[in-house]
Structure 1
Amino acid sequence: MNADANDNTPPERPAKEQKNRVCPNCGKPRSERYDPFCSKRCADVDLHRWLKGGYVIPGPSVEQEPGDEEE
């Protein structure tokens, strides 16, 4: 059995993909440490957006129960 078979490291990206990779928040070059962001600040801004509900992953509609009322 190959020892690398259980390795969870992502495959290396081709040089073409690594060129021109920018932070999705501000457009600056990405940092290897905070990839895909350029800095801790941009990573934290993105996390804040997720936690506040700024990003939503669509899912099936949920029907309300008769006892549930919106306030």
Structure 2
Amino acid sequence: AVLLLGEFLPTRHFGLLVGSSIAAALLGDLFMLPALLRVVYAWGTPDGTASASPPSPDGLPPETEVG
């Protein structure tokens, strides 16, 4: 933002580019990333349906339990 206050025109343009890039990255993190994670992870089993039981605390499937 400080770069926008300079008198040298290329520095002002660079400041505008940096500011708009930061704003676009913030909007992408807030809106695009959760949607992409939901699509990629699918929040459930491979067929896209939610699982009937909650996942184990360690994240491993139940058949790997010992004892």
Provide TM-score, normalisation by structure 2. Answer: 0.28
Give the greater-gyration-radius structure (CA): 2
More helix by share: 2
